[in-house]
Every structure is written in C-alpha cells, then in structure tokens.
Amino acid sequence: MHTSPLPPPHPDAAAHSQRLTRAIVQTINEAGGAIPFVKFMEQALYAPGLGYYSAGIRKFGADGDFITAPEISPLFSQCLARQCQQILTDDNRIILEFGAGSGIMAAELLKELERLDCLPSQYLILEISADLQQRQRETLQAQVPQLLERVQWLEHLPSEPLDGIILANEVLDAMPVQRFRLDEQGVSEFYVGLGDSKETPFVWQLLPTRDEALRSAVESLRPILPVGYVSEINFALPAWIQSVAEILASGMVLLIDYGFPSREYFHPQRDQGTLMCHYRHHAHSEPLILVGLQDITAHVNFTAVAEAAHAAGLHVSGYTDQAHFLLASGLPELLSALESSQNYLQQAQQAKTLILPSEMGELFKVMALTRNLELSLLGFAKDERARL
C-alpha cells in the first residue's frame, strides 16, 4: 500500500465522479444543507449506476483499488472449501454468497469442492451491484463453465430458509456506518454539508445527534472513552444478521472481515475511529474526496456481530483470526502439495500475505454462526470467542 500523494483520476473517471457528486449535492440541498455521514457513504458506494460498487469501474486486483484475500491466492478459497466440506452433506447442500466481488472466490471454491467430490446442489449469489453481477458471471463462465448451471443470482434473500452455508468475505466492512464524537456533554454526529473547495464541495459538519439509538449507544461507552473520541457504529448490522438468520434453517454463516472485539474496537487509543478509503492501492482516511472512485470501509465490531447473532437465535460457534483459520483448514498441506510446481515460490509468498500478522493474518477475523449444527468446526481449532 502506497503512502505517496493520490494519483489524479483519469478524465472519464473524474467526469463520473462529478455526476455522482451532483446527485449527492442535490440530496444535501433537499435535506436542508447537510446529511448524516451514513447517508453520504450509502450514496457514494451504492447510488444506482453511480456509486463506487454500482458503477462499472475496476475495483479489485492489481489494477484496481484494493486486493481481497481470494484475489491474492486460490489457496484462500481452497481452505474455505475444506471448511465447507465438513458441512455440505446430502441434506445440507446450498451455498449462498453475499457480495461476491469479482466472482473469484465462488469460482475457486466450486473448483475445489468439485475436486473434493462435494459440490453444492446450488450456489446462490446475492450481489447488490448489477455491474459486479455481470463480472461474476464472466469469471464463472471462464473458470468453471461446467458448473455455471448450479449458480444463480438472487435479487432478494431467498423466500424459503435453506440448509447449507452462507458466506460473506469483506461485505460487512462495506456497509454504511454512522460516525460520532463523544463530547463533554452529549454526542455529536458527523454530517456532510457543502463548502467551497475546488476539489470537493463536501465538508464535515459536527451536529448534536438527533438519533436516539446513536446517542444512547455512545453514552454507554462514556465510562471507557475519552472526551473527543471519534469512531463509527454500524446500525444496519443487527437487521442484516437477523435477515440472514431467518433464511438459515440449518448450517453455518461464515463471516470474514477485518475488525476486532468491542474492547479493541473502542480502544481509547483508536480515537479517530476506523474509517479507511482505498484508491488505486493507496489507503487514506478522507472519504469526502474522489467520490465514487474510492472504496470507503469501516472495521467490523465482532462483539456486535456476536450479540446480533445471539439475539437472532444463531449460535456463535467459532471466532479466530484469518491465519489460524487457514492453518487449521489445511493451508500447510495444500501448500506442500504444490512444492514441485513451477510457481511454488509465488504461491508460498501469497500464502504468507494471507497469514503473516503484519499482513492479513491477524487483522482479519473469521466468525462462524450456526443453527442446528453439532460439529466441532475444522477452522476454529484456536477458538478466541472468549475475547469477544
């Protein structure tokens, strides 16, 4: 990841960004001059046809803005396949993936499950970006044409609960969040208003929050946080977990994302929160620029995920970091089977990126939520639920 100045966008990209900017300016004007940041983030990422995830710009991989684990190495999806194999039985045969990105994880996972003779009867993908749906179809057509008939794209959650596996890799971090500051008296919320900068018309405005849920959640953190503390809360998360719980009759939800338990998330030293933007492999923390051209993310509070899961009737069956999950799911064996292959060194290097604590190994966490499943899950030999 570079720390040098951000490269200027291509003229076409800049024109695209201006179209989205105009749409958000209109929303702000209609709202009387400012909108909560959560609304800005939602439009910046998901405005139909214009948002970062909704429009056709290249996001993933070496020539995009960031690289996710399945893009780094097929070993990631191969390990995931081993965890899935443990659960895919004759009665438990459906996989549903949320936010499938470029489609590479679905393709590699299906390839490996075919090799393990353990294919799901259906592989469902729920992707809110029409552009990415198209890209996923192309990836699967190119990589696993023989399995394409098992893959189905959904517009909504399935109407019938399913028996099987629900997967979401780096989906929760892409959900819009509310940003707050703890004040001496009360709680302020970050709004986005209009200024007169040439680069972006958007400016931060700190206003006393009118959102009772935000106020009370932040007030409950007052005993552990210093005044002036800035962070985020994802209030859409409990509803998302609830809707996922409702469609799982039996099986496992596997969530992979970067984040921490609540105590680390709201650590007094993390006093500027966790908002991060990714633009052509530069990471920075200014979401109001490059509108529609950069990813905006917030880390995941896994304690909040566990609480929401519990409230929704799911069992939190495992929580660990990505390194331990992959190591327990067969990474060493998969890698040693490649020792004589031509690109072994490259694959070993990629595996290191997935598991080294200084890379993705420690910051990324894996959480398993289950229903009606009595199994000791393969990937969670080192179980860290006690830290939640």
Q: Which of 42, 65, 108, 127 binds ligand SAM (CB under 6 A)?
A: 127
> Considering only 121-129, 247-255, 330-338, 363-371, which stretch makes contact with ligand SAM by CB under 6 A?
121-129
Q: Measured from the CB of residue 181, what is the shortest distance to ligand SAM in angstroms?
A: 26
Pairing assessment for the beta strands 122-126 and 94-98 based on DSSP bridges: parallel
Q: Which of 43, 50, 77, 98 binds ligand SAM (CB under 6 A)?
A: 98
Q: Measured from the CB of residue 170, what is the shortest distance to ligand SAM in angstroms?
A: 4
Which residues, other chains included, contact 324 with Cβ-Cβ below 8 Å and sequence gap of 6+?
A: 379, 381, 382
Distance CA 301, CA 363 (A): 12
154: which 2 tokens? 């959904």
171 touches ligand SAM by CB under 6 A: yes
Q: Indicate the residue among 46 and 204 with the shorter CB distance to ligand SAM.
A: 46
Q: Indicate the residue among 43 and 209 with the shorter CB distance to ligand SAM.
A: 43
> Considering only 13-21, 114-122, 154-162, 170-178, which stretch makes contact with ligand SAM by CB under 6 A?
170-178
60 touches ligand SAM by CB under 6 A: yes
User: Using an 8 Å Cβ cutoff, are 264 and 331 in contact?
Assistant: no
Which residues, other chains included, contact 238 with Cβ-Cβ below 8 Å and sequence gap of 6+?
A: 304, 307, 308, 311, 312
Q: How far, in Å, are 170, 182, 229 from residue 175 at the CA level?
A: 10, 22, 21
Q: How crowded is residue 173: how many other Cβ atoms within 10 Å of its Cβ?
A: 20
77 touches ligand SAM by CB under 6 A: no
Q: Measured from the CB of residue 306, what is the shortest distance to ligand SAM in angstroms?
A: 19
Q: Which of 132, 300, 308, 328 binds ligand SAM (CB under 6 A)?
A: 132
Distance CA 271, CA 268 (A): 6
Distance CA 143, CA 70 (A): 14
H or E element that contains 319: strand 315-321
Q: Measured from the CB of residue 316, what is the shortest distance to ligand SAM in angstroms?
A: 21
Q: Measured from the CB of residue 133, what is the shortest distance to ligand SAM in angstroms?
A: 9
Q: How crowded is residue 381: how many other Cβ atoms within 10 Å of its Cβ?
A: 14
- Position 297: which residue type? T
Q: Measured from the CB of residue 271, what is the shortest distance to ligand SAM in angstroms?
A: 25
Q: Measured from the CB of residue 101, what is the shortest distance to ligand SAM in angstroms?
A: 3
Q: Indicate the residue among 218 and 256 with the shorter CB distance to ligand SAM.
A: 256
* Coil, helix or strand at residue 222: helix
Q: Indicate the residue among 41 and 377 with the shorter CB distance to ligand SAM.
A: 41
78: which 2 tokens? 């191969």
Pairing assessment for the beta strands 122-126 and 178-182 based on DSSP bridges: unpaired
- Position 319: which residue type? Y
Q: Measured from the CB of residue 134, what is the shortest distance to ligand SAM in angstroms?
A: 12
User: Using an 8 Å Cβ cutoff, are 110 and 144 in contact?
Assistant: yes
53 touches ligand SAM by CB under 6 A: yes
Q: Which of 23, 72, 87, 100 binds ligand SAM (CB under 6 A)?
A: 100
- Position 279: which residue type? Y
* Coil, helix or strand at residue 83: helix
- Position 75: which residue type? L
74 touches ligand SAM by CB under 6 A: no
70 touches ligand SAM by CB under 6 A: yes
Distance CA 287, CA 5 (A): 15
> Considering only 14-22, 111-119, 125-133, 201-209, which stretch makes contact with ligand SAM by CB under 6 A?
125-133
275 touches ligand SAM by CB under 6 A: no
Residues contacting ligand SAM: total by CB under 6 A: 20
Q: Which of 17, 92, 129, 234 binds ligand SAM (CB under 6 A)?
A: 129
- Provide the binding-site residues for ligand SAM, judged by CB under 6 A: 53, 60, 68, 70-71, 98-101, 105, 126-129, 132, 169-171, 174-175
